Structure 1
């Protein structure tokens, strides 16, 4: 007799499937983004300050941020293969356990004053584990969400990839705002920055418990078929792999610009206070999360390509004037960030669906995970470092042009992308 938990869900228990994927994904992104929002405090505690240059610790912290991204392709490939060979639920269980462990390790990282070079070594190790986990999480949860969707609802289901990611970011940024305002600079630099990572480890256990009730989405036929090789997706589907790279390049740079790096960019480039920058990103993220299901529904009705072109061409034209409009004003920062989030929704709300629709089910998770994570590592993970480096060179105004140029390149890919919204998903 077939185990009901192993039966592909498609039209059954969709809300429970969404909850299982979304809660765990929110926890993963909460842990990941807590590091971003606390970068300046981690820099003060873990990295030595270079005489005469206050940007050096911040650059070091963002370099570690980028290192975590370069483990994401490994996670996408390895955990994607686990999802294709042993099931989506198995991969989702492993990824959330890894994220909880790495979050706890960040919380326990010693200061440079107490442990010397061991402090950054521990931090780098924790970020490598986080990168491995998050790369695997995207591959497994994207596949899980799209395969759980009813016909004509794949875009809507896929949008919850970024709904849940946004919830995680809101938790991280909201908690950071409360801690900064409650503890002040001294308390945050001393011990307050550790609190969100302790909570992240606890949240991971909650997400693990909720995911236990999820149904496997691989079909019985796939479970009985020979297991795919680790690189089968790249070997047999090179065009789909390259398409994912092109689709993702501009989107991931814009995503990390508007949702993460802008808090630092506004402080360094426009003189906005840290508390105002964190509050603006919190409010704009709430707006962004509400937009995602709308984008998913529109793509189910009108197709994926129109939304992608709205994002790509709109960002190519408007990124420079929007980012150059920033000044020391909370209202201006909030309006600019919300405008960027609106453009970004054309990409984020449907990228999971687009990726999943390009690969057959036998190699879908690994096929998504590796090229997506490589592209994110190259362009998303380096965004804060590149922006800060431009600022150190005295050319901070070049960063918006970098964003616009890459979004234009991705737009050329969107023009050639096959429309997949109304095709039946292979299972």
Structure 2
């Protein structure tokens, strides 16, 4: 008996509107992608504001007088936010399968809006003492829950609504907006640094970005209200819909998604958010003029992220031609070969241009993963568990390795073992290579386009 016979409604929809069975026009698809990805941009903007502005407010909540330790504590809170992602991935992934992708996305954007408003009014240790750090931690947990729910629902929705044969290209806009959120946070840091200066930002203006993020979430909520649902009533009412136990009956899909997420999330955060701290600490204790200061680093990362955004649809389109597995092989092989020499050269660089070129080289390989991060996972799970299969599994690997990237890197540095961090990255990349080798070619085995003939079969009764 085939999987689809065992579980009616488990197959993926080939049309752009799985719930209705009607084929969308290209323009309708573009509008749906835009509306769905707008919330993705806002949520990640809200989440990344913390990473970019923590250098301005870390000592107001944590240890004063020791930049490395205060940044480590700030990164620790960033990590805790990531640890909430599996909970968000489970709750919202299950919701995406049982009540629909659209409703799940609406709830997650509302939660992020609330978290951003709370960040904007948090008291510092000067007024709240030790409670300041505790409150900061709680707010980041709320935001982590929201982002954990956002990824799975959005990745699944955009994969299903995309046009067949162009799913890699259209799905790449999830990371266009994800990185776009990071880019906007970085750009805002640049503007505020040049117009207000470090002293004024540290004096309280760091709260402004969180107010902006909350307001943008309201706009996204309005855009998402017009989305059409991609799941059918049959799929949502399947007795195993949204069940993680059912996900585990697809072990190949589960472990491949987990393996590629571990390395993908790790290197993404190493060469984006951690680079800011890496370059900043490079000149710590160096007398004379600093090559890398907060303002110049913000400028550099803004340019790098802009280039990274442009890479996404290009790499996504490549995957439509050569297959997702080949994209992933290019990515993991690059991440095995490059981190040790690149991190060493960036660390020794005395030129902003040189450092930027090296970072962009890493990003070119990483884009082979990020551009198809959502679709490559969605194509491994049947529709009735696609939300939780993508969202929860991704959140586990992302929280453990993406969220810990900065903290682990800073720990190695604080212990005087900075060069060992690159070896750690390579070791995780090798695990990712093993996972990619167990992937099937999506051009024959996609559960969205070839559900009945996909090799990603259910195990057990």
Q: How does the TM-score come out when normalised to structure 2?
A: 0.88
Whether 1:36 aligns to 2:36 is no
Q: CA RMSD in A?
A: 1.8
Q: Shift of residue 8 of structure 1?
A: 5.3
**Cα displacement string for residues 54-103 of structure 1 (whole angstroms, at most 9, x for unaligned residues):** 32211111000000000000000110001100000000000000111101
In the TM superposition, what are the counterparts of 1:348-427 in structure 2 within 5 Å?
Answer: 348-422=370-444, 423=446, 424-426=449-451
1:232 corresponds, among 222, 227, 245, to 245
* Aligned match of 2:216: 203
Whether 1:141 aligns to 2:162 is no
**Which 10-residue stretch deviates more, 376-385 or 236-245?**
236-245
**Cα displacement string for residues 326-345 of structure 1 (whole angstroms, at most 9, x for unaligned residues):** 22321112111111110101
* Aligned match of 1:332: 354
In the TM superposition, what are the counterparts of 1:269-288 in structure 2 within 5 Å?
Answer: 269=282, 272-288=292-308
2:95·2:242 contact (CA, 8 Å) conserved in 1? Answer: no
* Aligned match of 1:181: 194
2:18·2:232 contact (CA, 8 Å) conserved in 1? Answer: no
**Cα displacement string for residues 124-144 of structure 1 (whole angstroms, at most 9, x for unaligned residues):** 111101111111100100110
Q: Shift of residue 249 of structure 1?
A: 1.2
Q: Shift of residue 156 of structure 1?
A: 1.2
Whether 1:193 aligns to 2:215 is no
Distance 1:285 1:229, change over 3 A: closer
In the TM superposition, what are the counterparts of 1:9-88 in structure 2 within 5 Å?
Answer: 11-12=24-25, 13-49=28-64, 53-88=66-101
**Cα displacement string for residues 318-377 of structure 1 (whole angstroms, at most 9, x for unaligned residues):** 111111112232111211111111010111111211100110000100011111101011
Q: Shift of residue 408 of structure 1?
A: 2.3
Q: Shift of residue 209 of structure 1?
A: 0.6
**Runs (5+) with no aligned partner, structure 2:** 1-16, 285-291, 453-461
Query: Secondary structure at the residue paired with 2:350?
Result: coil
Q: Shift of residue 270 of structure 1?
A: 5.3
Q: Shift of residue 306 of structure 1?
A: 1.3
**Which 10-residue stretch deviates more, 219-228 or 302-311?**
219-228
CA distance in 2, matches of 1:382, 1:342: 23
Whether 1:320 aligns to 2:340 is yes
**Which 10-residue stretch deviates more, 201-210 or 402-411?**
402-411
**Which 10-residue stretch deviates more, 370-379 or 8-17?**
8-17
Bigger helix share = 1
Query: Secondary structure at the residue paired with 2:172?
Result: helix
* Aligned match of 2:5: none
1:243 corresponds, among 252, 256, 280, to 256
1:85·1:227 contact (CA, 8 Å) conserved in 2? Answer: no
**Cα displacement string for residues 305-328 of structure 1 (whole angstroms, at most 9, x for unaligned residues):** 111111111121111111111223
**Runs (5+) with no aligned partner, structure 1:** none
**Which 10-residue stretch deviates more, 26-35 or 261-270?**
261-270
Q: Shift of residue 9 of structure 1?
A: 6.2
The number of equivalent residue pairs is 422
Whether 1:117 aligns to 2:117 is no
In the TM superposition, what are the counterparts of 1:258-297 in structure 2 within 5 Å?
Answer: 258-269=271-282, 272-297=292-317
